[in-house]
Structure 1
Amino acid sequence: MRKTSLALAVAASTLGLSLSQVAHADFIGDSKATLEARNFYFNRDFREDAGQNKSEEWAQGFILRAESGYTEGTVGFGLDAIGMLGFKLDSGDGTAGSNLLTPDRSSGGSQDYSSDLAVAAKAKISKSVLKVGSMQFKNMAIGSSDSRLTPQVFSGGQLVSQEIEGLTLDAARIREVNNRNSGDFEDISIGTTSGANGGTRGITATGGTTTDKFTYLGGTYKINSDLTAAYYHSELDELYKQNSFNLVHVLPLADKQTLKTDVRYARSTDDGRSNVDNKAFGAMVTYGLGGHSFGLGYQKMSGDTGFAYINGTDPFLVNYVQIGDFANKDEKSWQARYDFNFASIGIPGLTFMTRYLTGDNIDRGAASEGKEWERNMDIAYVVQEGTFKNLGIKWRNATMRNNFGRDLDENRLIVSYTLPLL
């Protein structure tokens, strides 16, 4: 995925040629395409005088997502594509580094313009789909980040099978990553720090922290209408091995009341040249009453290091939030969360969320026990009908404080409009 001005043109011509050549079956009829315009303002205010005191940037992005159907026959073939454009609207005076834009190594700022293209070929037999190329992933083993201007994508192959009712099997081999602020594909690396506040997971590796091979195999099984279980085994070659378990139960109570329990456990060990040794337990219990949701979460890290996951991705942790992941060595953390969906009082499209997390018992070696807390608030509205249908606006606010890294306040304002093309 090269950042060239021809990227989207190539994507459009490639997909258009394929459509013209295969004008039968469900290749066209089942095709879907959307164009999202994403306007993103990011402000992170560091609360100390040392170093850079602010990261502030404003950018405009466009994300084209196209998914074809499949050709006729025992084996159906198709194409998926993600085209991405990013434009700098405001950045300078030492405020770069928001990860919205590609860094400009010569100036220390951000590039004015970037473009990306991710294309994956796919083949389908019965209820099994093989994809090869560039794509996003979202499961217990790996979660592509989409929290900035354009999403993170990976290069590799994936097989998803749903031949057995209620069971989804998922396997992949991934070789490279194009991060949300990257100019090109690069080797995959293991994260060694915990969030923007600089907390440490205590992870080290000999011979570097990168590799060109990540594999996983796992699945999700819907035991009944209320209970779902999942397991994934993953390996970041020579860096870590991980076994992840998840159990989700939704208990219907009285009218418009539910109790959801989400339990997660992961065991991570080294794979030859790292010191990874971690047990991560997390649980979230959420009580739903009409448009209200009240949640309590607990997360505990144990072992010689903090939690291991691919750098830049969204880890499968109950206390991974806007800034922190609360996954430092030996850390114990709690979360209290409240959500309200205004559709319950006749205002569909408007939602509100706030949460507070506190963590302690962080092993800092000879230093004192590490402690941190974070507060988040999200307010979002999506227009439901009329001329501006699908126009969305979201304000994300966060405050992070700790005794081992940088304190910060953060605001993100995201205005997006998604236009269905097919």
Structure 2
Amino acid sequence: MKIQSLSAAIALGLLAQHATAAGFIEDSKASLGLRNFYYDLNTKNTADNRAEANEWGQGFIFNYASGFTEGTVGFGLDVVGLLGVKLDSGGNSQNGDSRRPGQLFPLDSNGKAEDDFSKAGVTAKLRLSKTEARIGTLQPKLPVVNFNDGRLLPQLFDGGQVTSAEIDNLTLIAGQLEHTKTRASSDDVGLRIAGAASVGGVQADSNQFRYAGADYKVSKDLLLQYYYGNLEDFYKQHFLGLTHTWAIGPGALKTDLRYFHSD
């Protein structure tokens, strides 16, 4: 069973027992964002010398985040729904047209961009004291893994994550990602790096990215970080970070140092 389906089943089963609990509804939030995106790429007469890509689309981004049920252990549910509608994306990726789609929208079997595409995700969440566990759809924004939001619709991951702030000024994070819906696709695919080789015509990928890290707030002006990421069969990465803010008159001088070591 996929993590996304499992998370939905767990959440519905738990929330059925706590549907009237205060906090779940009262602390919930919902938003609908509209994103109009035009993409223009022209590499003619360059070393790359590919055809141009001109695409235009309208995106709809819905997010719902519940609060937590009352009690020692609180339960909640998050939902994301994404829809992209094509406004213009001429050309064909298979017949040598000067315009080649595929940057904002998935392609159908004849090489043309789909008229629209959609994707959705559900996240079950559990809170105990100052520790929160999430399983299902994730959009991590961490030094060693960051969801891609550089096109019409954002990328979604499937996995699980635990965040704990039981110790004052120290936040611990650990998780595992297994699949992703990329920014221009509705399909669940494996995880890989750019340029990953094909084996027997099949794209090499992995279903396991593990990560863990810590944020330690030494003072209100100084933050220290360490994170580790491991994409199975591809790479391991260590990250060290230091962020310091120094108040100077009416403003501030911010220092942000980052060190990555990857194998």
The TM-score normalised by the length of structure 2 is: 0.85
1:34 aligns with 2:31: yes
Q: Structure 1 pair 248/144, CA: closer, same or farther in 2 (3 Å)? A: same
For residues 148-187 of structure 1, the aligned pairs below 5 Å read 148-187=151-190
Contact map agreement 1:103 1:181 (CA 8 A) in 2: no
1:188 aligns with 2:191: yes
2:52 pairs with 51, 54, 59, which one?
A: 54
Residue 99 of structure 1 is matched in structure 2 by: 103
Q: What amino acid sits opposite 1:45 in the alignment?
A: N
Structure 1 residues 196-234: Cα deviation after superposition (integer angstroms, max 9, x where no partner)? xxxxxxx87989641110000101111111111110011
In the alignment, the residues of structure 2 paired with residue 231 and residue 206 of structure 1 have an alpha-carbon distance, to the nearest angstrom, of: 35
Aligned residues: percent identity? Answer: 40
In the alignment, the residues of structure 2 paired with residue 258 and residue 38 of structure 1 have an alpha-carbon distance, to the nearest angstrom, of: 33
Structure 1 residues 287-321: Cα deviation after superposition (integer angstroms, max 9, x where no partner)? xxxxxxxxxxxxxxxxxxxxxxxxxxxxxxxxxxx
Alpha-carbon shift at residue 143 of structure 1 (Å) = 0.3
In the alignment, the residues of structure 2 paired with residue 100 and residue 206 of structure 1 have an alpha-carbon distance, to the nearest angstrom, of: 27
In the alignment, the residues of structure 2 paired with residue 42 and residue 61 of structure 1 have an alpha-carbon distance, to the nearest angstrom, of: 13
1:130 pairs with 129, 133, 147, which one?
A: 133
In the alignment, the residues of structure 2 paired with residue 162 and residue 90 of structure 1 have an alpha-carbon distance, to the nearest angstrom, of: 47
In the alignment, the residues of structure 1 paired with residue 198 and residue 169 of structure 2 have an alpha-carbon distance, to the nearest angstrom, of: 40
In the alignment, the residues of structure 1 paired with residue 31 and residue 17 of structure 2 have an alpha-carbon distance, to the nearest angstrom, of: 19
Alpha-carbon shift at residue 133 of structure 1 (Å) = 0.5
User: Tell me, what secondary structure is at the counterpart of 1:251?
Assistant: strand
1:45 aligns with 2:42: yes
User: Tell me, what secondary structure is at the counterpart of 1:23?
Assistant: coil
Contact map agreement 1:132 1:157 (CA 8 A) in 2: yes
2:22 pairs with 22, 25, 41, which one?
A: 25
Contact map agreement 2:117 2:185 (CA 8 A) in 1: no
1:82 aligns with 2:72: no
How large is the RMSD of aligned CA atoms in angstroms? 2.4
In the alignment, the residues of structure 2 paired with residue 247 and residue 166 of structure 1 have an alpha-carbon distance, to the nearest angstrom, of: 15
1:252 aligns with 2:256: no
For residues 111-126 of structure 1, the aligned pairs below 5 Å read 111-126=114-129
1:265 aligns with 2:259: yes
Q: What amino acid sits opposite 1:261 in the alignment?
A: T
Alpha-carbon shift at residue 96 of structure 1 (Å) = 3.8
In the alignment, the residues of structure 1 paired with residue 55 and residue 261 of structure 2 have an alpha-carbon distance, to the nearest angstrom, of: 38
In the alignment, the residues of structure 1 paired with residue 17 and residue 66 of structure 2 have an alpha-carbon distance, to the nearest angstrom, of: 12
1:221 pairs with 208, 216, 221, which one?
A: 216
Q: Structure 1 pair 96/24, CA: closer, same or farther in 2 (3 Å)? A: farther
In the alignment, the residues of structure 2 paired with residue 236 and residue 169 of structure 1 have an alpha-carbon distance, to the nearest angstrom, of: 20
Q: Structure 1 pair 23/112, CA: closer, same or farther in 2 (3 Å)? A: same
In the alignment, the residues of structure 1 paired with residue 105 and residue 156 of structure 2 have an alpha-carbon distance, to the nearest angstrom, of: 15
Q: Gaps (5+ residues) in structure 1? A: 1-10, 193-202, 270-422
Q: Structure 1 pair 229/172, CA: closer, same or farther in 2 (3 Å)? A: same
In the alignment, the residues of structure 2 paired with residue 222 and residue 21 of structure 1 have an alpha-carbon distance, to the nearest angstrom, of: 36
Q: Structure 1 pair 170/205, CA: closer, same or farther in 2 (3 Å)? A: farther
Residue 325 of structure 1 is matched in structure 2 by: none
Contact map agreement 1:37 1:62 (CA 8 A) in 2: yes
Alpha-carbon shift at residue 51 of structure 1 (Å) = 4.6
Q: Structure 1 pair 224/21, CA: closer, same or farther in 2 (3 Å)? A: closer
Residue 65 of structure 1 is matched in structure 2 by: 63
Alpha-carbon shift at residue 101 of structure 1 (Å) = 1.4
For residues 336-355 of structure 1, the aligned pairs below 5 Å read none
For residues 284-295 of structure 1, the aligned pairs below 5 Å read none
Contact map agreement 1:102 1:111 (CA 8 A) in 2: yes
Contact map agreement 1:127 1:162 (CA 8 A) in 2: yes
Residue 301 of structure 1 is matched in structure 2 by: none
Residue 149 of structure 2 is matched in structure 1 by: 146
Give the aligned length: 243
Q: What amino acid sits opposite 2:261 in the alignment?
A: R
Contact map agreement 1:57 1:96 (CA 8 A) in 2: no
Residue 109 of structure 1 is matched in structure 2 by: 112
Contact map agreement 1:205 1:239 (CA 8 A) in 2: no
In the alignment, the residues of structure 2 paired with residue 27 and residue 121 of structure 1 have an alpha-carbon distance, to the nearest angstrom, of: 12
Residue 212 of structure 1 is matched in structure 2 by: 207
In the alignment, the residues of structure 2 paired with residue 118 and residue 23 of structure 1 have an alpha-carbon distance, to the nearest angstrom, of: 24
Q: Structure 1 pair 167/21, CA: closer, same or farther in 2 (3 Å)? A: closer
Q: What amino acid sits opposite 1:189 in the alignment?
A: R
Contact map agreement 1:96 1:110 (CA 8 A) in 2: no
Q: What amino acid sits opposite 2:234 in the alignment?
A: L
Q: Structure 1 pair 90/138, CA: closer, same or farther in 2 (3 Å)? A: same
Residue 198 of structure 1 is matched in structure 2 by: none
The TM-score normalised by the length of structure 1 is: 0.54
Q: What amino acid sits opposite 1:27 in the alignment?
A: F
In the alignment, the residues of structure 2 paired with residue 121 and residue 39 of structure 1 have an alpha-carbon distance, to the nearest angstrom, of: 30
